Each structure stands twice: as structure tokens, then as C-alpha cells.
Structure 1
Amino acid sequence: MKNKIIFILSLLFGLMFINAGLNKFFNYLPPPDDLPESMLKVTEAFNTISWLMPLVGLFEIIGGILFIIPKTRALGAIVIFPIMVGILLTNTINMPAGLPLAAILFVINLWVIVENRTKYLPLIAAKS
């Protein structure tokens, strides 16, 4: 049962990031009309760096695909983690209305990282 829940959450999580990444390339989702002024300024600042949003979008797509596949989920969680921290901080500071969804996604990402913690141990094991 636990594996089914993790798979369903991972599928939804991964698809959300794939969608967000594709939107950074094709701009098919219009921004909400009620965006706070501070969020509009942040978006404008990000868009002035022409390579930044496509790079984030690429990693969202890659991370989302890796997150969906059980064998590569641990890698996908690590790829998406810094993006997730940015999303959480941006929502905390500039758009608190988006914070509940950002927090849920952050917890899902952390859960997958904790579930796969043994896969990360060789990366930090001390060499003698």
C-alpha cells in the first residue's frame, strides 16, 4: 500500500514539474490576474536573465521525469530539491497564498529523499 501511495504522489509530483518546465518554454499557462506586485517584480527580474528560466524549466522537466520512474526517483528528488526550496521561499516572501501547495510539494519531496536515504550514503561516506 505504501508503494502505491508513493507512486501516485510521485506521478502527480513529477507531472506537475514537467508541466511547469514545459510552460517555461511554451508559455501556455497565463499568469493569474491577482498576482501581488512583489511577485510581478520577481518574475520580471527572472525574465531579464534570458537563460535562467529555460535552465530551470529544463531541470524541472528532467527532475519530473526522473521522479516518476521508481528506479531514478532518488535522483529526481535531489534534482528538484533546490528548485523546490526556491519555490517555497518565493511563496513565503512574495505570494503567501501559494504557500500551502508549495509546502505540500516540499514535504512530498522530503519524504522521497528520506525514503531513499540509503542511496545517498555512498555519496557522503568518508574515504580513508
Structure 2
Amino acid sequence: MKNKFLFILSLLSGLMFINAGLNKFFNYIQVPEDLPEEAMNMFMAMMEIAWLMPLIAVFEIIGGALFIIPRFRAFGAIMLTPIMVGIVAHHLTLGFGLPIPLVMAVILVWVIIENKDKYLSMITKNN
């Protein structure tokens, strides 16, 4: 039961990351007109670095797809962790709605904890 629940949460989170990545390429989600000036300035600064948004988008798409597939979920979680840290920091500093990023961060942490043995094998000495 726990595995099915984790799969459903991973599927939804992965799809949200894929959607966010695709939106960076195709701009199909409209930017709200009442966006705070600080947020607009930050987005404009990020757009000045021509390679940054495509790089983030590729990591969101690939990481989101890997996050959905149980065999590759641990790798997807590692790819998405820096992006998730940026999302939470962005929402904390600019005062946007925090519930969805926090829920997604909790799911990401849960996946990392569930796969801790895979990560520990990378940093422990095996004779």
C-alpha cells in the first residue's frame, strides 16, 4: 500500500516538474499580471543568462520523468533536489504561496529517505 501511495505522489510530482520544464520552452501558462515587482525583476535577471532557463527546464523534464519511474526515482530525486531548493527559497523570499512547494519538498525528501541505501553505497567504502 505504501509503495502505491508513493508511486501516486511521485507520479503527480514528476508530472508537475515536467509541466514546469515544458512551460519554460513553450510558455503556455500565462504569467499573472499582479506579479510583485521583485518577482518580475528576478525573472528578468534569470532571462538575461540565456542558457539558465533552458538548463533548468531540461533538468525539470528529465528529472521529473525519472522521478515517475520507480527504478530511476532515486536518480530523479537527486536531479530535482537543487531545483526544489531553489523553488522553496524563491517562494520563501518573495512570499508566494508555500503549501505546494512544501508538499513537493516533503515528497522529494520521502523518496530520498526511501532510497537512502542507494545513496549510502556511493559514499561508503566497499572492500
Q: Pairwise mapping of residues 10-89 of structure 1 onto structure 2 (< 5 A)? A: 10-89=10-89
How far apart are the structure 2 equivalents of 1:108 and 1:97? 20
Identity of aligned residues (%): 57
Stretches of structure 2 that go unaligned for 5 or more consecutive residues are none
How far apart are the structure 2 equivalents of 1:106 and 1:34? 26
Secondary structure of residue in 2 paired with 1:98: coil
Secondary structure of residue in 1 paired with 2:17: helix
The Cα RMSD (Å) is 1.1
Q: Pairwise mapping of residues 79-118 of structure 1 onto structure 2 (< 5 A)? A: 79-94=79-94, 96-118=95-117
Stretches of structure 1 that go unaligned for 5 or more consecutive residues are none
Cα distance, 1:113 vs. partner? 0.3
- Please name the residue that 1:4 is paired with: 4
Secondary structure of residue in 1 paired with 2:96: helix
Q: Which runs of 4+ in 1 moved over 2 A?
A: none
Check if 1:120 corresponds to 2:119: yes
Q: TM-score, normalised by structure 2?
A: 0.96
Equivalent pairs counted in the alignment come to: 127
Cα distance, 1:50 vs. partner? 0.6
Q: TM-score, normalised by structure 1?
A: 0.95
Cα distance, 1:127 vs. partner? 6.0
Cα distance, 1:34 vs. partner? 2.1
How far apart are the structure 2 equivalents of 1:6 and 1:33? 36
